Amino acid sequence: MSYLVLDRVCKSYGTAGKRTEVLTNVSLSVERGEFVAIVGPSGSGKTTLVAMIAGLMKPDSGTIVIDGKKVKGTGLDRGVVFQNYSLLPWFSVFSNVLLAVEQACPDWPAPRRKQHVERYLRMVNLWPARDKRPAELSGGMRQRVAVARALAMEPNMLLMDEPFGALDALTRGTLQDELIRIWDDNRRTVLMITNDVDEAILLADRIVPLSFGPQATLGPEIIVDMDRPRPRQSLHRNADVKRLRNSVTEYLVHSRRKPASRSLGSSTTPLGIGAAP
């Protein structure tokens, strides 16, 4: 059985009168150890989807099952990287990560936890900034702390909501490599949200596009059938990559041309897909 199964998940926001259904009939299966990327335009409901899988929100209808158990709430089996970083501003970088490690590994002695935090902070190149408060960091640095926090929990499944969105190309590249290395080491399940098709092609086993909202739903999956490691330099010359990129963007562009009744206001939504460099 798949590790994560979403079955016809629907979610609406707002109260009775002006209720908008954001996600409609979202179904998805993710195998254990698989790396799946969800690509979708801004405002389509990607964060909403992550929140439901994380257990922060209940779907209005449909079910979410992880490892055979229906999701009832949050759990330490899922490590979440929030889109807006969500670091606790009153703690230092180190303490933010340490808190997560304390929760995830309550039996460990303190020195071991600290070593563990150090390892992950070094990995994201933030060891020198360990005593800084989040407010003293740049957006990209905060994002790296958030990534380190989720990774350090070594969860069964990583849920990442646009984890590298605020990073420059160079840092983004390093972290993508690091993420793939970690993932390759222990093959945890990863569900990553991104609006960068190339990032999805570089990292994922499978790309699932999410259509324009409201009433967004997942489109046909696109299998990234390329050997790993995938050298980023040769990617943009690869014919497969062009084909994959085209099929993702094509689906998304088409999903936008919905009957007028369904696309209230969406005609003004900018195409949130990261353009190919």
Partner 1 sequence: MFMKIDTNYFRPVFLPLLGIAAVLFIWTITSATWAKKLPSPLQTWEQSKDYVMNPFAKRGELDQGVLRFTGYSLLLVIKGYVLAILIGVPLGLLLGTSKICTESLDPIIQVLRPVSPLAWLPLGYILFEQPQPAAVFTIAICSMWPTVLNTAVGVRAIPPDYLNVAKVLNLSGWKLFTKVYLPATLPYMFTGFRLSLGIAWLVIVAAEMLTGSPGIGGFLWQEYNSLVYEHIILCIVTIGLVGFVLDRMMSFVEARLRVA
Ligand X SMILES: Nc1ncnc2c1ncn2[C@@H]1O[C@H](COP(=O)(O)OP(=O)(O)OP(=O)(O)O)[C@@H](O)[C@H]1O
Cα separation, 52 vs 78, in Å, equals 12
Hey, which bits of 59-201 come out as E strands?
61-66, 69-70, 78-81, 157-161, 189-194
Identify what 22 binds: ligand X, partner 1, Mg ion, none; CB under 5 to 8 Å per kind.
Answer: ligand X
Among 26, 80, 93, 248, binds partner 1 (CB under 8 A): 80
Number of residues written out for the chain: 277
Binding string, residues 215-254; x marks residues near ligand X by CB under 6 A: ----------------------------------------
Binding string, residues 42-81; x marks residues near Mg ion by CB under 5 A: ----xx----------------------------------
Q: Are 275 and 199 in contact (CB under 8 A)?
A: no
* Nearest alpha-carbon partner for 210 in 5, 9, 67, 3: 9
Identify what 54 binds: partner 1, ligand X, Mg ion, none; CB under 5 to 8 Å per kind.
Answer: partner 1
Among 22, 98, 150, 208, binds ligand X (CB under 6 A): 22
Q: Does 96 bind Mg ion (CB under 5 A)?
A: no
> 88 φ, ψ to 5°?
-80, 115
Q: Does 195 bind Mg ion (CB under 5 A)?
A: no
Q: Does 115 bind partner 1 (CB under 8 A)?
A: no
Q: Are 127 and 94 in contact (CB under 8 A)?
A: no
Residues forming a β-bridge with 38: 193, 208
Nearer to ligand X by Cβ, of 83 and 143: the residue is: 83
Q: Does 133 bind partner 1 (CB under 8 A)?
A: yes
Residues forming a β-bridge with 30: 4
* Sheet containing strand 61-66, strands side by side: 20-30, 4-13, 61-66, 69-70
Q: How far is the CB of 264 from ligand X (least distance, A)?
A: 11
Which residue ranges make up the site for partner 1 (CB under 8 A)? Answer: 51, 54-56, 73-76, 78, 80, 82, 84, 86-91, 99-100, 103, 133
Residues of this chain that bind Mg ion (CB under 5 A): 46-47, 83
